[in-house]
Structure 1
């Protein structure tokens, strides 16, 4: 069930036993004229995916959810919703598990880490139809299990808090989203959102490697610019990066 604040704000919920992916279910709902502010949750997925179309295992016991928003903002501002969603994810996990920063941290651009192990991720997709922007935010949270064949450490919430559940995480996440989205929607709201995200950022000030389409680039992660791009101090000077895969440490 959604949190009380989410229900009061008009958000609705659809729960499915099994779907290909909640992202595709949200897109199908949009095709059918869905007006938005809709959470779609599945107990399992058989075609879950992450960034760049990567397949994502989705066994029962974890949270698989997508939030469909219709006309939430101007198209140019849509990428900022990834930071809003990340903060909501961090808030919710901290509430459910009782652990916060620095043990719980946000890895640019879209992961939640506990002690540097991936615990959750999100995926942001947008499209314009008839001049109106729609955004789908997909959340995947490891609650009862995590993949064991990943190239990076992973963990799940029940290892830290045995009482963690899909239900408690969904209620906390939907509640946190309402608060974070409302704060961001205020004039100048991305400034405080950006500051709050940086307070929870993993590897800030450390040497990192970003894998880009043209190849990897390494440098010191110094912050986010006012538009949300990652700031990287490299040997060749400062670079601003819109998107990429972040790895901790030097070149690889």
Structure 2
């Protein structure tokens, strides 16, 4: 596997492994060893991949498992925005390699990519302070169903080879790394130029590709379930849920669309694979 010359020229590097426990863990180890960041780590197979809330998942060969390490990319308060930056980059990359864009290819809050309503990818964003007074390390994990889609998930899953049979994880990584470099650079520029709403440009682009905006949705939260209309995102990336009681801001949760098939599966199954 390799990055494009254009991506490498902007300082990104790649470590490609045959097998590892978790590419996110490998990226964090690199940060603790003093790596300067802009480091991609991929593996053909993961033995102990994980997702949000510590969920475990198998990682069969043929899919893309990649993590990106960034060192001090932003202030701590702005770090959650990087999940939306990564989502946009992934959407752009998949559109580039498959020729399929919105609305068939859509982003699901906060961190999934859907193809015709079925999940093809998830993201895992983790932030760590290497030392109390040290730099902020951000690790972004990407798990993409290139050749295989899991079964028994909380909502349907699909593999990208159903729409492009010759697609490989190598092709997708090259496109993803290039798309992320462009999107990340644009986000940093926009943040500097729009101090009053640094997330505004990314929020607008993300919402243009989002599934379920303006529709009735369900959110499963640790405290229970909430229902309402998905109105949009606030300036910090929180979901705006409108109900008869007003608009509530949701920091994190599992989002379901009643008009799709998501709700027919078990609500407590894992949803991420990294």
Matched with 2:146 is 143
Matched with 2:199 is 190
Could you tell me how far 1:173 is from its partner in structure 2? 0.3
Selected match of 1:244 from 241, 249, 253: 253
Superposition pairs of residues 143-162 of structure 1, within 5 angstroms: 143-162=146-165
Matched with 1:207 is 216
Aligned length: 252
1:2-59 CA distance string (max 9 Å, x none): 1333211110000110000101111111121111110000000011111111112200
CA distance, structure 1, for counterparts of residue 17 and residue 170 of structure 2: 14
CA distance, structure 2, for counterparts of residue 41 and residue 118 of structure 1: 21
Matched with 1:84 is 85
CA distance, structure 2, for counterparts of residue 57 and residue 158 of structure 1: 19
Matched with 1:175 is 178
CA distance, structure 1, for counterparts of residue 252 and residue 240 of structure 2: 11
CA RMSD of aligned residues (A): 1.3
Could you tell me how far 1:153 is from its partner in structure 2? 0.2
CA distance, structure 2, for counterparts of residue 4 and residue 222 of structure 1: 41
1:183-204 CA distance string (max 9 Å, x none): 1001225211110000000111
Deviation larger for 73-82 or 4-13: 4-13
Q: Is the 1:5–1:178 Cα contact (8 Å) retained in structure 2?
A: no
CA distance, structure 2, for counterparts of residue 4 and residue 220 of structure 1: 44
TM-score, normalising length from structure 1?
Answer: 0.97
Selected match of 1:234 from 233, 243, 246: 243
Matched with 2:50 is 49
Structure 1 segments of 4 or more deviating over 4 A? Answer: none
CA distance, structure 2, for counterparts of residue 123 and residue 5 of structure 1: 26
1:156-175 CA distance string (max 9 Å, x none): 10000112111110010000
Selected match of 1:216 from 215, 220, 225: 225
Could you tell me how far 1:131 is from its partner in structure 2? 3.8
Matched with 2:271 is none
Q: Is the 2:16–2:41 Cα contact (8 Å) retained in structure 1?
A: yes
Q: Is the 2:212–2:257 Cα contact (8 Å) retained in structure 1?
A: yes
Matched with 1:126 is 127
Q: Greater RCO between the two (CA within 8 Å, min separation 6)?
A: 2
Deviation larger for 216-225 or 125-134: 125-134
CA distance, structure 1, for counterparts of residue 243 and residue 166 of structure 2: 44
Matched with 1:113 is 114
Matched with 1:98 is 99
CA distance, structure 1, for counterparts of residue 54 and residue 241 of structure 2: 26
TM-score, normalising length from structure 2?
Answer: 0.89
